[in-house]
Structure 1
């Protein structure tokens, strides 16, 4: 379904909320998201799309009691307004607060779910509008749900740190999770990285779900995340529930705290887009130092042999403070830096004009012998006017427009990047003007361990 059509339909539901007396944007989006979640969960169970990922304990959403037969979306959506309102307020939402059962991460974070639709008439109209939204087959779920969850995750200061789905898919593919991995998203947000890993494993390692030990590991020990935003934790729980994960480890913890006691040497994969939105009241030097500390934390959290994909601001790669130099020296000389991928025009519309880089590294504690692979996605080249126009367009739309890594349109560079990564930086393909090169570690050491791709431009090859 086209994005503009989804937006138009969501705006119609939003207008209905306003007419009903709901004016707080976060509250409106949360109520719509809960209703969409109930519909999607009912659809998945009806079609048994969740089934292959579940252990014998059964589905997460298993209402019990006298109202059992009415507590699913397919049943209550046809009730009269007053009857439906009483059912949701007295039975469905209290059960939603216990999602996953006592002691689960779901129940811990979903206990804050509130039913705040003001009247039975308003509920009936909203359910009718939501039921009219098209359903999308497959494990990816409802496009309207994904759109709304992304909008809610992008609200406020931390919205500048949301990660576009195609970048999430890229990071997951680069670390290539295996059935035995233990994955952590230390700045969990809406759970997009964990969802990406679950989908990658379902696609690339489907046989693991037929193995009782691998399935048990997947459902109870593989997924870990923490965040300090309770709304994000609820979204993460719902996203993972829709992917059939029974018992993830999702914790309410300060994501930027300098202490990681108990988390050292624990994870085989770390995926992160660090958010310092809560620190923006501090001066630039303090914020930069906090970002350096976070990257160092991620390294300590890895087991030996563990790998990480982390999106970092530009100063991490070329800053000249002692802290910057110490971090880069540690990564280059003591660990294995595999790749530095630069997003010159930002990650998306929201990130336009904010250059960032993806840092891919492996913890070895003994350094590495391989050259570091640099990849820089630049605007199309040509005459000055054309280059300027292309740069403005890139900043307006971002170089990664196009959705999933499988999308092969002119603006999505993820498939090309993944192909070059698999080829080890081989011959030029396509018409993209992305540049890549491999740089020896001794050359990086002579440049104060600077990992800004501009430092090594001389002599590199341009694609196209």
Structure 2
């Protein structure tokens, strides 16, 4: 979070204001253009670092900026009936358009004069960026329609200068506070995304990073798991799963003292970005583990670049409507983490025929679809509006029955209504469930035995629009209920916690399936939580009235009653006489 770094926050605000005053007032357009520049900068820095690492270790590394590059439109296109002479001529013609890749580096083009810089970036650097991973790559495919639209040389110069300053502050912050550079960069990117004024449209909200980390610690994705988000937006959950896995692998390689030396972040989570230390095999497995889909082409591009800036070279993020008839995957994934759109409705005629719920509500269809996308034994962590927990419509009840009977519904964690501010004050909950029975199975018994409920009341941030970081009485960052939820959830089946979980007046408790069935599969916490009413003793009316009179005139026995026989004191004396 950037609340504790006003210098970095100020720099980003400056960048934002420059785009606004420079003629790019649409927030989503500005974010996209800023992302392209951040990507160019980070690409250069990562490449230089990998070159330096390769020189140090003796390993071979081919720079992305080594050699010549020919724009796709000028490349030689040979024909089957070409003679060797014609083929040679085509290649010779193409070579006329060769560009030295080293001139496409951020560190090189930033030194150009304003007009020349704009022409160079528009005509050469950005086309190179779009073609970065080759014609067949997913990234190139989704970048095909991307456009670099910074209109003024002065805006580009100012933006490049400010981004350089932002990276200097990030490096300084990383060195002084020990926070991983990639995490700080993630904070910057998340802050930029938070500025999108259109967020919240159709129920789409940016999920706070500490909630993503919470979900990752709850579902615990592992290396080798196939992980998906069917409504991935900018890829936050995929990145959260990736960072969790990388951290767990790193911790296994560290000695006990080294592990203990790792400091938790401001929300109590331990994350370390040392993907470079992973084995080649682990990297290869990870690169094929993360899958995301979204119906907004701009968000697909942002998601691709977000993951690439975090070290995932070829992300599997695609443009797809996972609720539509054209999306046919089923039983594909070990882990699904998602915050699907709320309150939206989709065209009834385009709903996937495999979805059985009779509804057009996206929040219900997404949860059913997530159930279908999970392999048997696969686990999902899904954020839903709390209306899903108690809605009285048939589709609501059918979905909850499916979760209880065909899945092991492990937990319902209610979140305070301010978690998604400033986008919305909607009350939400996390559902954690494991798929036990496939749709075609003849289930002989319900899969859920008990459901664990937890009422989160604080997440470590104020629940107003500002969402400032809260502090503990000793001045440290507050973790709210985040770490308590993780600890209690993973210990919920132990003897000690099982005994505690019978107290329905506590923050967390267990409810047997039989009781949930009897309540019509209602999953709202308030249905099962017992409120505690403390008996309050009040003074007698005469004593209270005496206190009020004393407050007005002091001791009435010594006062000149003639002077107080009017107004409020007279009325209080009369009332006291009536009650005795």
What TM-score bracket applies, with the shorter chain setting the length? 0.7 to 0.9
Specify the alignment match of 2:34 in structure 1. 32
Asked if the contact 2:199–2:206 (Cα under 8 Å) also holds between the matched residues in 1, the reply is: no
Counterpart Cα distance in 2 of 1:70 and 1:151: 33
Asked if the contact 2:18–2:159 (Cα under 8 Å) also holds between the matched residues in 1, the reply is: yes
Counterpart Cα distance in 2 of 1:94 and 1:326: 50
> What is the TM-score with the length of structure 2 in the denominator?
0.67
> What is the TM-score with the length of structure 1 in the denominator?
0.83
Asked if the contact 1:170–1:414 (Cα under 8 Å) also holds between the matched residues in 2, the reply is: yes
Specify the alignment match of 1:419 in structure 2. 487
Structure-to-structure mapping, 1:203-222, within 5 angstroms: 203-206=247-250, 210-219=278-287, 221-222=288-289
- Given the superposition, is the C-alpha separation of residues 225 and 50 from structure 1 closer, same or farther in structure 2, using an over 3 Å criterion? farther
Counterpart Cα distance in 2 of 1:235 and 1:100: 16
Counterpart Cα distance in 2 of 1:369 and 1:329: 10
Provide the secondary structure at the position in 2 that maps to 1:245: coil
**RMSD after superposition:** 3.6
Q: CA deviation at 1:446?
A: 1.2
Specify the alignment match of 2:334 in structure 1. 268
Structure-to-structure mapping, 1:8-407, within 5 angstroms: 8-48=10-50, 64-65=68-69, 66-133=99-166, 134-136=169-171, 137=174, 138-142=181-185, 143-152=187-196, 155=199, 157-158=201-202, 160-206=204-250, 210-219=278-287, 221-257=288-324, 259=325, 261-276=327-342, 279=345, 289-350=361-422, 353-365=425-437, 367-368=446-447, 370-378=449-457, 394-396=463-465
Asked if the contact 2:343–2:362 (Cα under 8 Å) also holds between the matched residues in 1, the reply is: no
Asked if the contact 1:175–1:308 (Cα under 8 Å) also holds between the matched residues in 2, the reply is: yes
Q: CA deviation at 1:227?
A: 0.6
Q: CA deviation at 1:212?
A: 4.6
Counterpart Cα distance in 2 of 1:94 and 1:123: 17
Cα deviations by residue, 1:235-262 (Å, 9 ceiling, x for unpaired): 10001111222333222112443x4753
Asked if the contact 1:344–1:356 (Cα under 8 Å) also holds between the matched residues in 2, the reply is: yes
Q: Does 1:436 align with 2:508?
A: yes
Identify which range, 140-149 or 168-177, moves more after superposition: 140-149
Gaps of 5+ in 1: 381-390
Larger RCO, structures 1/2 (Cα 8 Å, 6+ apart)? 1
Cα deviations by residue, 1:24-82 (Å, 9 ceiling, x for unpaired): 33322322221122212222333339989xx9996778784333112121222222223
- Given the superposition, is the C-alpha separation of residues 230 and 62 from structure 1 closer, same or farther in structure 2, using an over 3 Å criterion? farther
Q: Which has the larger radius of gyration?
A: 2
Counterpart Cα distance in 1 of 2:449 and 2:319: 38
Specify the alignment match of 1:387 in structure 2. none
Gaps of 5+ in 2: 70-98, 175-180, 254-274, 349-356, 438-442, 533-580
Provide the secondary structure at the position in 2 that maps to 1:178: coil
Identify which range, 237-246 or 18-27, moves more after superposition: 18-27
Q: CA deviation at 1:315?
A: 1.9
The number of residues matched between the two structures is 435
Q: CA deviation at 1:364?
A: 0.8
Asked if the contact 1:168–1:193 (Cα under 8 Å) also holds between the matched residues in 2, the reply is: yes
- Given the superposition, is the C-alpha separation of residues 349 and 39 from structure 1 closer, same or farther in structure 2, using an over 3 Å criterion? same
Identify which range, 174-183 or 243-252, moves more after superposition: 243-252
Asked if the contact 1:312–1:358 (Cα under 8 Å) also holds between the matched residues in 2, the reply is: yes
- Given the superposition, is the C-alpha separation of residues 19 and 153 from structure 1 closer, same or farther in structure 2, using an over 3 Å criterion? closer
Asked if the contact 1:93–1:113 (Cα under 8 Å) also holds between the matched residues in 2, the reply is: no
Provide the secondary structure at the position in 2 that maps to 1:341: strand
Q: Does 1:450 align with 2:518?
A: no
Asked if the contact 1:339–1:374 (Cα under 8 Å) also holds between the matched residues in 2, the reply is: yes
Counterpart Cα distance in 2 of 1:287 and 1:49: 54
